[in-house]
Structure 1
Amino acid sequence: MENQGQPESEFTSQTSGQAGASPAQPTASASGAASGPQSVAASSAVPSPQGSMASGAASSSQGAAAYAPAMPSAYAVPITPVKEPFYRRTWFLVLLTIVCPVAGIPLMWVFGRPKSTPARIALTVVAALVILASLGSLGSQSGSGTYSQSDTPQASATEGGSGSSDSSAPAASAPAPTLTAIEAKYTGSTEAGTMIKQGASGLVVTGTYSDNSTKTINDYVVDNPAALVAGETSTFTITADGKSCPLEIACTTLTPEQYKEVCTWVEYEDLARYEADWLAKDIAITGKVFQVQESKNGTVYLMHVTEGSYGIWDDIVLVSASSSAVSTRVLEDDVVTVYGMSTGLYTYTTVLGAASTVPSISASYIDIN
């Protein structure tokens, strides 16, 4: 029996230990085992309900405190940080303050961004300056517009009071000036055969307009184009834009009769002795031809111009003439009258090889007597 009671004591001791008995209980159980079955019975006795509940609660709390295991870190729930809204961020508030100071300044101070107070003050000052500058610019533009509007009625009133509305009218609205008269002038050649027509060299037509201005007219018409005639004055009619004017041009080329009338009769002695006085002057002289030398460029005549006794002619003059100057061919021994221009002294070689210097004449007309 004793051998059988020992294990029971040990089982009871272990059970009590597992139930949370105090450390003194195993010692009591060991002493009970030495006393025999009574001790076993005593230890096996059921405690009172109240004592058992009290001791059980105490034992349970102590056991939980002593043997409560820690929760593994793998089963811990991670804490996710809350993301800050973009409108609270520093970069957004600074940008908003620059773009729209009215909205940016209050939000910057409400959210406390930037965190540095001096930075917020500096941004506020800069934004306030931007606002003031914008208001000043708008005010100057508004003021200039008001001045322009108030200035226009005054100018209109001044013009109306002066009574000179016609003179102040823009040039574009004024009627274009009209041509009232034309005038033609000619400064070109006046030799016989010169053609007078539209675009002729030296012909200038000037128009006078209703505003007293003048202008050269190129679009004109010569109603009666013609060539100038020797010894005559020609009258032409010039027309432009319905206006006409006459133009008179005197031909400076003389007719044969007119030319012969203006030539001066000269003696051989004056022509030979004072050749410089007669140079390039129109003269007339009569003589007898004793030599004719014809060529494609004209004809050269040698003639005596002084008639002596017994029909002997003396004093030689050289005459050069074109084919137009002679209406009838001149032969040797013809007595002719030469009308032409004195060309000074001329030296030629005689048949005998001697040099002879004589007066010369460029003939315009030669008449056979």
Structure 2
Amino acid sequence: MKKYNVAILGATGAVGQEFLNLIEERNFPFDNLKLLASSRSAGKIITFMGKDYTVEEATDDSFKDIDIALFAGGSASTKFASAAVKHGAVVIDNSSAFRMDPEVPLIVPEVNPEDIQKHKGIIANPNCSTIIMAMALKPLYNQAKIKRIVVSTYQAVSGAGKEAIDELDNQVAAIVENKPVEATILPSAGLPKHYQIAFNVIPQIDAFLEDGYTKEEMKMVHETHKIFNDYNMGITATTIRIPVYRSHSESINIEFDEEVSVEEAKKLLAAFPGVIVQDNPQEQIYPMPLFTSNQNEVFVGRIRKDETVAHGLNLWVVGDQIRKGAALNALQIAEYMIEHNVL
């Protein structure tokens, strides 16, 4: 099997580290591996598959002879994407920089793999909460047209990066030890006010827009429209941060044009690749972040009819934000490109 030269930009962060875990787990066919980060992390040694790698400071020249560049997200994406493409690499980007660019495919491989072939050097990974929702919507969307979606998310701190995970740790320790609690990250590091997340729920992810919705909420709307190439679906979202390490949860209410029964929905979801149905209310079986963390699949449960509309269903959907919501989805895009020779 042919092997590929791979660069990971943001290698020391949570998503970058998950890239490494998955490359090993999935026997991804890499030849040379280059680990890149900011000057702050340059020089760190990362041991991977028995070999020591020195993290390099990313520059425009870092992508020479690279076939696949996995960008973990952040401002570095806009800084280095064009340079990577000029050197011949295909960039698979986890940031929001290119998602709504009409020239850049926005991909969930199980949902719209056909769009990968339209790439011009950059492919965008959707927002984590969008990916998790899209996985549950697709098998149902294939069965019946969706008129409207109402989604509320309960998002783990991993969505705000390694610093937010550390802050939750530190806050819990401070509370247990009866010490002052410091908050510097959430709801978003760039905002003027920050709130404690330990033993709290914050109804804000990212900055507010003029209409009262947050950027995160509108990402779910716009990205879902683009992925499904269906701009007639009504979508409204409320995104919430909860004190969970990793694995996002979503309550999704779907209104269809025609009837989709609960049993039919369960069969469609169970047959869809990358989805696991956990739905046995009598035995208290349903998805929870505690058990879906570090798992590759998206889990669906609490599937029930919405009695208030003609053709409605409620779903409870949970998926690991760092895996399927970020690193795994990006790596699956690369795997698809290799398998279908569209690099």
TM-score of the aligned structures, taking structure 1 as reference length? 0.16
Question: Relative contact order (C-alpha < 8 Å, sep 6+): which is higher?
Answer: 2
Question: If you compute each CA radius of gyration, which structure gives the higher value, 1 or 2?
Answer: 1
Name whichever structure is richer in strand by fraction.
1
Structure with the bigger percentage of helix: 1
User: TM-score, normalised on structure 2?
Assistant: 0.17
